[in-house]
Structure 1
Amino acid sequence: MKILIYSAKDFEIPFLEKANQEKHHVTYSDKRLTLKTAHIAIGFEVVSIFSADDASSLVLERLKDFGVRYITIRATGYDNVNIMKAKILGLRVANASGYAPYAIAEHAIGLLLAIKRKLIASNEMVNAHNFSLSALVGSDLNQKTVGIIGTGKIGKVIVSILHGFGCKILCNDVQEDQNLITTYDAQYVSLHDIYKNSDIIFLCVPLTTQTHYIIDKHAIAQMHPHVILINIARGALVHTQDILTALEAKKIYAYGTDVYEKEEGVFFYNHSNNALKDDVLQKLIDLPNVLLTPHQAFATQEALSNIAETTFHTINCWDRKEHTENELT
């Protein structure tokens, strides 16, 4: 099969090459899929896209017109793909579901520990030969109450890690996981109870119409001012301006995030020689109580290998005219 890989990153290409095993003809493009770049797919049966690519209705129509029949998503989330339109067009779409729950969960814990133990400030002070501890007093995780919004594969791993720290764990999801209750003494409660009682809140849900801006000024008003928010899911789960206002007013203690709601065209690219045009993003970067990483939680050798293997497993199934368990249409 002829395959076009959109948004191909230099660090992932070796994993994709290994998974392909020289079976398919693969072309790599560092360009994002957009309405303007869809024409690159002319002559390809399969396109593979990433979370920052645009697979909205008009783009899908154009891909269909260009002869594309299959779309693989090198991510678990698929909020950037109009699945309903894909079904109407007869495009087969599959994601890389559950490729890296440990990679992403561990990154979430890393964000939390860096905030709680002031590791970024500590490193900056040491680099300046300042070895004073006066500004570096943190707090334990042990005995803290942690709210986990979304107990899918990533949320489950976070629960297990936090249980090892001795945290009290509150969960919220549309479906309760009995194993988390019996094994880790987790409690399923309402969102209000999580907002009201948590010292730390993790966002682990997919982006849907129900979860869009699940954290806004109304949710923040229910929280303690010492709360730490950690977002390793999607940027639009939080109303960023409301987060900024709360951080500046000290209504929340800190925000750790690996995602940003307007990251398309910014994250995954080197803009070190260009001034940012996004004032909201610049404010996030400038605030001392924000720890922002550039959507890197998935970037481990194990996760990249799993993504590549899942991607080509799906393509191989399609090549054999078989169904694949990761199909979304």
Structure 2
Amino acid sequence: MSLTSVSRSIVKKVLAVETPEGAGALVRRSIGSMTLKNLTPFLMLDHFHVAEGAGFPDHPHRGQATVTYMLEGTSQHEDSAGHKGTIETGGMQWMCAGRGIIHAEMPVHAKGNPDPRGLQLWIDLPKEVWIPEPSYQELGPGQIPTAYPEGPDGPVKIRVMSGKSYGVESPVRPLGGCWYFHVTFTGKATIFQDIPAGWTAFIYIWKGSIAVGEETMPNPTFHTLVLSAEEGQTGVKLTAGEEGAEFVLAAAEPLDQTVFQYGPFVMTTREEIQKTLLDYQMGINGFEKARTWKSIIGNR
């Protein structure tokens, strides 16, 4: 860490409590919950667990990007634009819903394999890019570049899903921009991750514990930590507890725009939401297959 490195600190801490969602799935929701409703441009963060017989069958989206990252197990996806595939453990899908899409996300269960568990992050799109056609950026488990702050044999590795860390940069180019890292400490260690000035940033922990900045008490699992964004702060200092830690760190430029969200639709005005509902009901403006399309995986 250089002499000019100034760490952010925690301004809010939210425990993600497990609750039912979709068709029998369980999620720990922090961003998008009543305790952390808005964190521009981040709209929602779910840590999901999909048991056998559960899933997320056919449902629409408009106006946001959804980022699915598999921590364990495997998940299939299929959409009304003809795109389908499988996200394996350690793989990621960055979907821009754009003007509209209908899709299904369903688990793959096999004897001896773990239940699918992962993270889904929703990111608001700048209003000037809300109307593109739906698009995907996908990285398989072996395609996500990894940074090793203390070398390949050291106690820290950072999977760079988007953005850059310790000289390693992801090929993913999200609309609006976003940095997204999966950080693993195998034991107690300290790193400093640069973050662009003024960007909104948060951490979600699912294993072990970490201390942020100069604090001495580590923060435990299943907490989302919202970081400060004061002038002069260049990044965040992270120190793992004795047992190590595993978490994601995300950062993106805040958007100066209102958010009107109705379920899977995200727009800037109530009128735009009403128009979206009408488009979906009539099957137009991106939802042409709303009345006729049914996924295979969501209707087995």
Higher relative contact order (CA 8 A, sep 6+): 2
Could you state the TM-score of these two structures normalised by the residue count of structure 1?
0.29
Question: Whose helix proportion is higher, 1 or 2?
Answer: 1
Question: Whose strand proportion is higher, 1 or 2?
Answer: 2
Could you state the TM-score of these two structures normalised by the residue count of structure 2?
0.31
